[in-house]
Structure 1
Amino acid sequence: MYSNKSKVKVRYAETDKMGVVHHSRYYPWFEVGRGEFITESGMTYRDIEEKGVMMPLVESGCKYIEGAKYADELIIETFIEELNGAKVIFSYNVIRENDNKLLAKGTTTHVFVNNEFKIINIKKKHPDMWGKINELYDKE
């Protein structure tokens, strides 16, 4: 399966009084990874939305293994865990680059909806979009 690797560097503002990254900061990093993953399909979120498709978040989770610290250089590894016509589950591994240590694992679940927020099957409604996303899901 294909995975995208995005790099982020921990900013001081992302840390708490204990000197570690606050748990809420992982979700924006997931968004960075997800956006770059989608771009690898040959589309952008803007392209998808211009076709009348949105991907609202319906569930998320994160397991924190070890805290990242200020100035750590991180790799956000993003891949599709599950894909069907109505939803996609992205998985993320947050890895400290200098020692390849897994710091956190997360998931976000998104459904495909139209402009009226009605769930759609993109496999049927937008086969071109489905093909681009599914190609990355099936890619070895």
Structure 2
Amino acid sequence: MYISETKIVVRYAETDQMGIVHHSNYLIWFEAGRTDFIKGSKMSYSEMEEEGILIPLAESSCKYIIGAKYEDELIIKTWVKELTPIKVEFNYSVIREKDQKEIAKGSTLHVFVSKSFKIINIKKNHPKIFEKLQSLHT
């Protein structure tokens, strides 16, 4: 199973009055991790979109374990938990690099849709793209 790693350094603007990262930033970091994960399959989000495949977010969750702070160096680990011809679920683990502690974890569920937002079966309609994603999942 392929796990991508995306490095993030917490910016001051990402923190709140309490000096910790505002919770809304984690979903942005998950997206950065997902983008890097897709690149690991030798394609990009843009290439998928050019093929007429969109993967909108259907569900998201995040468990906050320890607050990240300004200038913390983080690693977003991303992998596929489940892949079917119509959906993909990504899991994430946010690790503080200096002590290797997991500070948050989460998941996002996406559906494969056409540009008209109709659910599509990518295994049937785009078998090469499905194979690339599947090769990272197994």
TM-score calculated relative to the size of structure 2: 0.99
**What percentage of residue pairs aligned between the two structures are identical?**
58
> 1:108 aligned to 2:103?
no
Provide the rounded CA distance (Å) in 1 between the counterparts of 2:100 and 2:122.
Answer: 36
Provide the rounded CA distance (Å) in 2 between the counterparts of 1:115 and 1:32.
Answer: 22
- Number of equivalent positions: 138
* Corresponding residue of 2:42: 42
* Corresponding residue of 1:58: 58
Provide the rounded CA distance (Å) in 2 between the counterparts of 1:127 and 1:12.
Answer: 43
Structure 1 residue 100: Cα displacement? 0.1
1:40-66 CA-partner distances (Å, limit 9, x unpaired): 101000000000010000000000000
Structure 1 residue 115: Cα displacement? 1.1
Structure 1 residue 116: Cα displacement? 1.0
Q: What are structure 2's unaligned runs of at least 5 residues? A: none
Two-structure CA RMSD over aligned residues (Å): 0.4
Amino acid in structure 1 at the alignment position of 2:111: V
TM-score calculated relative to the size of structure 1: 0.98
Q: What are structure 1's unaligned runs of at least 5 residues? A: none
DSSP-derived class of the 2:76 partner: strand
* Corresponding residue of 1:23: 23
1:38-94 CA-partner distances (Å, limit 9, x unpaired): 001010000000000100000000000000000000000000011000000000000
